[in-house]
A and B are shown apart, each in its own frame.
Chain A
Amino acid sequence: MSTLKTTLTGYVGYRGREGHYAFLLHRITGLGTVLFLVIHIVDIALVYLAPKGFLDVIALYQTTLFGIGEIGLVFCVFFHGINGLRIAYFDMFKPANWSIETGRNSTRVTLIATLILWLPATFFMVRNILIHNFGLFGG
């Protein structure tokens, strides 16, 4: 149990600002994505294993609560990809960029790039929820 506590204390207590947050977000978004990936493989497998069950799962995914989760998932996918690109690029081509200042700036750029991809996607997903679940915009 002490390993668990030590690691968690390090995750929370380390004061590395942007670089630290990027590390935490990379882990959280990765774990979040893989959690849904496992669920998603099984739910798609239902089209072959139990087609009736697939329709029940889709009905669940169409609820507002899961719609909000879906918007979070899309953020995870975009952030994890862009931050992964940043890490790989620095490692392979610009190791000198692993300084505190460049690390902080590039983390901000990563977040902005994520928002540029995520906000338009969110607009369409929120619109879908409002149309189908709330009867707005002629739904």
Chain B
Amino acid sequence: MIDIVSEKLLEEDNIEKTLLELNIDKLYVCRTIDKKEELSGFTLPIFEKVCLNKSYLLKSPALLSSVKEKGVLTLIAGGSLNANAAALTSKADASLFNPIGSELCFDEGLAELARQNKKTIYFNVNEIRVNQHKAIKQMQFIIPLLKSKGIEMRFVTFAKKVNELVDQTILECFLENFWLEKTTSARFLEGGSIK
């Protein structure tokens, strides 16, 4: 299983053991970037059995030009129509993260853009815990729309604490509520693509 977590999670005790218990062997550690100065000084610890990779969550699409590092997963925070559209039209290798907003800000046009630009859309499953009503309602519209267009999706926890991580079996079953079959959601969670 592949997951993206906040860099704050690495401060927890025995985190590698917990990750291994959940069968997480590849992990993206994400730093949220508000200003371009925050891009410097981000180093990851070395774990024995878990492969850690860097990831940046950009609060604004304008920060894309500041990311010079290669092999880093770059995400653009969604949540408004403009941010979602900017993330999906950008030519850079960046993906849209969490297109859930205070009101629905994703439509068929944006889904078509995502398909044309071969973008992957990342959903934060913990949004359902924090912002339950809006997140479920919007995800119930967006996920089947993306599925019908054959767009890549990923479901990540963006965990800041250990209790925000999720076991893959639980997540697979939970995603059935969004009309995703177990095999499809398992492929998304493993980082595979739709065939």
Q: Do A and B associate with each other?
A: no
